[in-house]
């Protein structure tokens, strides 16, 4: 391997020269000096760190796991640690490998290290995301993976289109075997680092009549001929190269003296393997792998919150031993929320086994939230098993800190209304909207808030919406650029060959395709050839000739034309901009604007190629921060953020925890949901408002819902249940008086105790509704009792029916088996219609609804009305006050 171009450090601190030759570590003299210096007078970057943080920064040698709870200064530790390594001359910037998951995190880290150390970080070439570092490596050794260095990185859309072609080429039915699904399977395999020959037989057989493996192989072959790779390959190729070419791996071993990993709990198996390979020291395996067992995290399986007992005084600096790997992973097992996309919490749970003798440091001192919020979060997360155990605490406890508020609302509309009011109230008290966030479980929940805020005229911003690069016009433009940069990029070529319309229909494109396959040349070349031959009709032939000529010209200009200029030329000459200029639709001007923005953003890059790389890897678009607006986002995208006031709506069984997580993930699925709840709670600095509603529209039908079990897992001492209800108008009051206070209409939780069961959902304000029996009075510790346990079990079953998974058939909600608690109070009780898969699907048509057209009925949400139509168990009812709605018969009672 040629030497690395950026090998020469350009770090001009008073650092010692690099250790010559073999040693990978700093001479112990430096460490000693650093220690001495620390005792005398610590460098100012260490000032202000608490003892645990400082330990995490100064334990530079050997494997270290920093368990950093939410808001405990994780990023600070990471950046200070880098600064410390640099400042004490342990390594040059180019000798530190620092990996993050997101570009945002990488950017922030770069910036903060820069602030600590000065400009010298410019020279940290190996600080970046797993993927960006992966590409960097792969570009260097592309030929070892059968690629050329200029390879294209395909995005998900390209991948799906490609797979679809392959499925069709196999003569398979692409409806029966959806490309998207296979793309997901491949992604899953790559997350585990599995190549076509390594996937489990079962997986291989389960797709495409047992052709899964073959298809996967065909896909990889196709990528190779396209000189392209997908995201998974950015790690899988390097892994394979490291294994097959030890000399290459060794280069990296020599290079990286320190490895740092952010958000370790989110690593997947491939990332883990990649790290392991880089962290392994072949000659020194013996030392760190078999050394006497280090301290083990004995507080694992903390069923009960572990008290914040003082940390065992860990040695500030371990003796430097020859072959220990200086890898430092930072993460929080309690915030692992990406299991569904391949993250293995187990990686972090196993750390001390993978790296025996690892130092484990817990950061539990929280600087973000009030004691009430932390108390609630800690208590909730303590319900998880299999955690390393960690309890956040804070030292600043104010007497007037607010407890965590739990509110009930009648339905999601009222929920949005009430949250809106709380926000407006806060705004009147001079709080910034920027400091408030609504964190939802699923994005469909956002709409209701948006609608409400639009009518209120309240500014809001949605974080994590559709992205810039995903827009049609951007992707089209990029496709042009890709073909220019890499003529073999057939996917890009196909995308734009007839955009704008050039009269190249299906037939013509097929022809190009076939030629390309037959001659084994890229489609662009095939097009060129076809344009010369007379196999095509004159019209498409001329069109192809022009396209080919255009690309030839642009490609020729690539090296001697400024890339922004070239980009503009391409879009002009291809007729792409004209296409939108002539478009009369409402979006057209915006699209043109986006294209301008695209060109503008290219200026920051050296070349078209480096720009394309950036686009492939970086998806975030800048948000306008200057506007004061309420933030709306999913819980997932809230990780890592903090807000003064946080609203957590939708805490209902089925939505949160999400039914699908429960169905597919079982116990671990539930635990991940709980961690998600924990993430949500710990985003709040001062005020936290949790909401649940009694009625939510699911797939177009109103369903009654049950408070989330997570509510019951909050500690009474830190929670205040809002009994006031909000001002809710509508029909609520008209019937609030009675019916369901006694548990009618499905409001009652038939399997027992939840202290929220009778909390007046919106109606409590009006006296009887929801039962003033309820609220605070019913607030008791129900968890941990046998009854509660039982309830949990029943609850799962019942909510299954509530949210019904599609595989089972229709969304159902027909009584609760034996425990029929008064749904069908009036006529035709639905009792006993215990449903079960197949049977119900039939029963929908076979079993007529207990109601008939014209019946007078009562519904919890809409009040009284007349049945006007019946479709199986779905009733269309003309309500007196609410108009016409469709509801399930289980929700109404005969009037």
Residues with catalytic roles: 74-75, 262-263, 335, 683
- 788, 752 Cβ separation under 8 angstroms: yes
Buried-state track 134-165, b at ≥16 Cβ within 10 A, e below 16 = bbebbebbbebbebeebbbbbbeebbbbbbbb
Confirm or reject binding of residue 442 to DNA (CB under 7 A): yes
Confirm or reject binding of residue 637 to DNA (CB under 7 A): yes
Q: Which is nearer to DNA, 144 or 701 (CB)?
A: 701
Backbone angles phi, psi at 731, to 5 degrees: -80, -10
- 162, 230 Cβ separation under 8 angstroms: no
Question: Considering only residues 169, 619, 627, 846, which one is a binding residue for DNA as defined by CB under 7 A?
Answer: 619
Confirm or reject binding of residue 74 to DNA (CB under 7 A): no
- Min dist CB 670 to DNA, Å, is 12
| The one segment of 285-293, 371-379, 658-666, 725-733 that binds DNA by CB under 7 A | 658-666
- 187, 232 Cβ separation under 8 angstroms: yes
Site residues (CB under 7 A) for DNA, limited to 286-325: none
Residue for token pair 């709040």: 684
Write the DSSP symbol of residue 14: S
Confirm or reject binding of residue 869 to DNA (CB under 7 A): no
Q: Which is nearer to DNA, 325 or 439 (CB)?
A: 439
303 known ligand binder: no
Confirm or reject binding of residue 729 to DNA (CB under 7 A): no
Convert 264-302 into a string of H (helix), E (strand) and C (coil): HHHCEHHHHHHHHHHHCCHHHHHHHHHCCCCCCCCCCCC
Confirm or reject binding of residue 552 to DNA (CB under 7 A): no
645 known ligand binder: no
Q: Which is nearer to DNA, 661 or 754 (CB)?
A: 661
Q: Which is nearer to DNA, 267 or 687 (CB)?
A: 267
- Both tokens of residue 169? 């080429």
Q: Which is nearer to DNA, 352 or 411 (CB)?
A: 411
- 441, 634 Cβ separation under 8 angstroms: yes
| The one segment of 98-106, 282-290, 393-401, 420-428 that binds DNA by CB under 7 A | 98-106
Question: Considering only residues 102, 265, 326, 799, which one is a binding residue for DNA as defined by CB under 7 A?
Answer: 102
- 607, 589 Cβ separation under 8 angstroms: no
Q: Which is nearer to DNA, 634 or 849 (CB)?
A: 634
| The one segment of 70-78, 596-604, 617-625, 861-869 that binds DNA by CB under 7 A | 617-625
Question: Considering only residues 529, 660, 744, 831, which one is a binding residue for DNA as defined by CB under 7 A?
Answer: 660
Question: Considering only residues 441, 609, 685, 696, which one is a binding residue for DNA as defined by CB under 7 A?
Answer: 441
Confirm or reject binding of residue 634 to DNA (CB under 7 A): yes
Q: Which is nearer to DNA, 93 or 657 (CB)?
A: 657
Buried-state track 441-462, b at ≥16 Cβ within 10 A, e below 16 = beeebbebbeebbeeeebebbb
Residue for token pair 């001929």: 225
Residues in the chain: 895
Confirm or reject binding of residue 618 to DNA (CB under 7 A): yes
Strands (E) across 58-137 are located at 64-68, 96-100, 127-129
Count interface residues toward DNA (CB under 7 A).
39
Contacts 24+ apart (CB under 8 A), 734-739: 734/863, 734/881, 735/858, 735/863, 735/864, 736/763, 736/766, 736/767, 736/768, 736/769, 736/770, 737/766, 737/767, 737/768, 737/769, 738/768, 738/769, 739/858, 739/860
Closest listed residue to residue 422, CA positions, set 442, 400, 449: 449
| The one segment of 7-15, 566-574, 631-639, 813-821 that binds DNA by CB under 7 A | 631-639
83 known ligand binder: no
Estimate to the nearest angstrom the gap between the alpha carbon of 703 and the chain centroid: 28
| The one segment of 88-96, 136-144, 313-321, 616-624 that binds DNA by CB under 7 A | 616-624
Question: Considering only residues 658, 685, 689, 718, which one is a binding residue for DNA as defined by CB under 7 A?
Answer: 658
Question: Considering only residues 18, 118, 464, 730, which one is a binding residue for DNA as defined by CB under 7 A?
Answer: 464
Q: Which is nearer to DNA, 155 or 364 (CB)?
A: 155
- Both tokens of residue 344? 């293995």
Residue 798 CA: distances (Å) to CA of 703, 784, 834: 13, 20, 11
- 134, 234 Cβ separation under 8 angstroms: yes
Question: In which element (H, E) is residue 720 found?
Answer: strand 719-722
Question: Considering only residues 311, 443, 555, 668, which one is a binding residue for DNA as defined by CB under 7 A?
Answer: 443
Question: Considering only residues 104, 537, 842, 881, which one is a binding residue for DNA as defined by CB under 7 A?
Answer: 104
Confirm or reject binding of residue 790 to DNA (CB under 7 A): no
Q: Which is nearer to DNA, 92 or 862 (CB)?
A: 862
- 271, 308 Cβ separation under 8 angstroms: no
Instruction: For residue 385, give the 3-state DSSP assignment.
Output: coil
Beta strand pairing call for 96-100 and 127-129: parallel
Confirm or reject binding of residue 277 to DNA (CB under 7 A): no
Instruction: For residue 147, give the 3-state DSSP assignment.
Output: coil
Confirm or reject binding of residue 340 to DNA (CB under 7 A): yes
Confirm or reject binding of residue 579 to DNA (CB under 7 A): no
106 known ligand binder: no
Question: Considering only residues 243, 341, 350, 827, which one is a binding residue for DNA as defined by CB under 7 A?
Answer: 341
| The one segment of 17-25, 75-83, 99-107, 860-868 that binds DNA by CB under 7 A | 99-107
- Min dist CB 100 to DNA, Å, is 8
For residue 16, whether the previous peptide bond is cis, meaning omega lies within 30 degrees of 0, is no
Site residues (CB under 7 A) for DNA, limited to 123-182: 129-132, 155-156, 175
71 known ligand binder: yes
DSSP assignment of 614-673 equals HHHH--------SS--EEEEEHHHHTT--EEEEEE---BTBBTTBHHHHHHHHHHHHHHH
- Min dist CB 339 to DNA, Å, is 8
Confirm or reject binding of residue 683 to DNA (CB under 7 A): no
Q: Which is nearer to DNA, 20 or 585 (CB)?
A: 585
Confirm or reject binding of residue 75 to DNA (CB under 7 A): no
Site residues (CB under 7 A) for DNA, limited to 230-269: 231
Confirm or reject binding of residue 458 to DNA (CB under 7 A): no
Site residues (CB under 7 A) for DNA, limited to 501-520: 501, 503, 505
Q: How far is the first Cα of the chain from the last one, in angstroms, to the nearest whole number?
A: 83
Question: Considering only residues 244, 282, 295, 444, which one is a binding residue for DNA as defined by CB under 7 A?
Answer: 444
Q: Which is nearer to DNA, 217 or 668 (CB)?
A: 668
| The one segment of 272-280, 370-378, 657-665, 858-866 that binds DNA by CB under 7 A | 657-665
Convert 176-191 into a string of H (helix), E (strand) and C (coil): CCCHHHHHHHHHHHHH
- Min dist CB 341 to DNA, Å, is 5
796 known ligand binder: no
Q: Which is nearer to DNA, 509 or 835 (CB)?
A: 509
Question: Considering only residues 103, 217, 280, 432, which one is a binding residue for DNA as defined by CB under 7 A?
Answer: 103
Residue 518: burial class (beta carbons within 10 Å; 0-12, 13-18, 19+): exposed
| The one segment of 97-105, 351-359, 565-573, 727-735 that binds DNA by CB under 7 A | 97-105
- Radius of gyration over every alpha carbon of the chain, rounded to an integer in angstroms: 31
Binding residues: 68-75
Binding residues for ATP: 68-75
Binding residues for DNA (CB under 7 A):
101-104, 129-132, 155-156, 175, 231, 340-341, 441-444, 464, 498, 501, 503, 505, 617-620, 633-634, 636-637, 658, 660-661, 664, 699-700, 806, 886
């Amino acid at each position: 391997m040629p030497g690395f171009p950026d090998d020469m450090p350009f770090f001009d601190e008073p650092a010692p020269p690099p250790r010559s030759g073999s040693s990978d570590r700093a001479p112990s003299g430096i460490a000693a000096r650093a220690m001495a210096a620390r005792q005398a007078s610590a460098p100012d970057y260490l000032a202000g760190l608490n003892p645990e943080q400082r330990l995490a920064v100064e334990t530079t040698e050997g494997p270290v796991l920093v368990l950093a709870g939410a808001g405990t200064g994780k990023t600070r530790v990471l950046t200070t640690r880098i600064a410390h390594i640099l400042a004490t001359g342990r390594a040059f910037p180019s000798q530190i490998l620092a990996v993050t998951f997101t570009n945002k995190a990488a950017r922030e880290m770069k910036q903060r290290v820069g602030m600590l150390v000065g400009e010298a970080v410019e020279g940290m070439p190996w600080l970046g995301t797993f993927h960006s570092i992966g590409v960097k490596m792969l570009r260097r050794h592309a030929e070892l993976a059968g690629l050329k260095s200029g390879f294209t990185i395909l995005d998900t859309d390209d991948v799906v289109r490609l797979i679809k072609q392959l499925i069709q080429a196999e003569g398979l039915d692409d409806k029966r075997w959806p490309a998207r699904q296979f793309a997901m399977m491949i992604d899953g395999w790559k997350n585990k680092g599995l190549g076509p020959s390594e996937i489990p037989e079962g997986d291989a057989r389960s797709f495409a009549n047992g052709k899964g493996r073959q298809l996967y192989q065909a896909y990889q072959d196709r990528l190779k001929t396209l000189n392209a790779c997908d995201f998974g390959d950015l790690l899988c190729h390097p892994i394979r190269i490291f294994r097959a070419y030890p000399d290459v791996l060794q280069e990296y071993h020599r290079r990286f003296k320190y490895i740092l990993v952010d958000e370790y709990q989110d690593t997947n198996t491939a990332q883990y393997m990649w790290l392991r390979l880089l962290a392994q020291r072949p000659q020194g395996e013996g030392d760190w792998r078999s050394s006497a067992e280090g301290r083990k995290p004995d507080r694992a399986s903390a069923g009960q919150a572990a008290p914040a007992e003082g940390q065992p005084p860990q040695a500030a600096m371990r003796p430097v031993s020859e072959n220990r790997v200086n890898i430092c992973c930072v993460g929080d097992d309690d915030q692992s929320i990406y299991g569904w996309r391949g993250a293995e919490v187990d990686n972090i749970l196993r750390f001390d086994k993978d790296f025996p003798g690892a130092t484990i440091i817990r950061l539990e001192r929280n600087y973000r939230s009030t004691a009430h919020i932390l108390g609630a979060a800690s208590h909730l997360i303590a319900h998880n098993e299999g955690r390393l155990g960690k309890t956040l605490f804070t030292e600043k406890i104010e007497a007037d800190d607010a407890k965590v508020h739990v509110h009930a609302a009648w339905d999601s509309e009222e929920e949005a209304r009430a949250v809106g009011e709380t926000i407006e109230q806060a705004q009147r008290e001079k709080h910034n909207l920027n400091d408030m966030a609504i964190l939802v479980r699923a994005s469909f929940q956002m709409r209701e808030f948006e609608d409400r805020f639009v009518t209120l005229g309240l500014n809001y911003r949605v974080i994590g919406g559709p992205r810039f690069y995903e827009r049609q016009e951007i992707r089209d433009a990029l496709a042009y650029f890709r073909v220019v940069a890499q003529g073999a990029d057939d996917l890009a070529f196909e995308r734009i060959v007839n955009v704008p319309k050039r009269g190249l229909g299906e037939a013509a494109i097929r022809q190009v395709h076939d030629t390309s396959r037959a001659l084994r040349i890229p489609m662009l070349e095939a097009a060129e050839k076809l344009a010369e031959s007379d196999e095509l009709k004159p019209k498409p032939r001329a069109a192809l000739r022009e396209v080919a000529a255009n690309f030839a010209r642009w490609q020729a200009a690539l090296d001697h034309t400024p890339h922004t200029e070239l980009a503009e030329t391409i879009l002009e000459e291809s007729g792409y901009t004209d296409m939108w200029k002539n478009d009369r639709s409402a979006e057209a001007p915006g699209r043109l604007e986006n294209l301008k923005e695209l060109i503008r953003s290219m200026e920051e890059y050296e070349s078209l190629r480096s720009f394309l790389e950036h686009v492939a890897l970086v998806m975030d678009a800048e948000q306008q921060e200057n506007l004061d607006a309420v933030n709306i986002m999913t819980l997932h995208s809230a990780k890592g953020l903090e807000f003064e006031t946080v609203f957590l709506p939708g805490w209902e069984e089925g939505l949160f925890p999400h039914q699908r997580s429960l169905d597919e993930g079982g116990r671990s699925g539930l635990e991940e949901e709980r961690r998600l709840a924990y993430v949500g709670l710990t985003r709040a600095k001062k005020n936290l408002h949790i909401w649940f509603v009694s009625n939510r529209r699911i797939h177009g039908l109103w369903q009654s819902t049950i408070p989330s079990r997570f509510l019951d897992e909050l500690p009474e001492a830190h929670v205040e249940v809002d009994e006031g209800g909000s001002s809710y108008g509508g029909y609520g009051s008209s019937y609030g008086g009675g019916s369901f206070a006694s548990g009618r209409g499905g409001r009652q939780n038939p399997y027992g105790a939840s202290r929220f069961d009778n909390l007046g959902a919106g109606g409590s304000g009006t006296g009887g509704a929801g039962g003033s029996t309820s609220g605070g009075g019913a607030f008791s510790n129900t968890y941990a009792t046998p009854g509660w346990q039982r309830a949990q079990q029943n609850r799962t079953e019942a909510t299954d029916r509530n949210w019904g998974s599609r595989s089972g058939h229709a969304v159902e909600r027909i009584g609760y088996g034996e425990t029929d608690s008064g749904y069908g109070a009036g006529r035709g009780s639905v009792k006993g219609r215990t449903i079960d898969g197949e049977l119900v699907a039939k029963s929908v048509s076979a079993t007529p609804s207990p109601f008939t057209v014209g019946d007078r009925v009562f519904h919890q949400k809409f009040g009284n009305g007349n049945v006007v139509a019946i479709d199986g168990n779905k009733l269309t009812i003309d309500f007196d006050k609410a108009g016409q709605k469709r509801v399930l018969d289980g929700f109404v009672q005969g009037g």
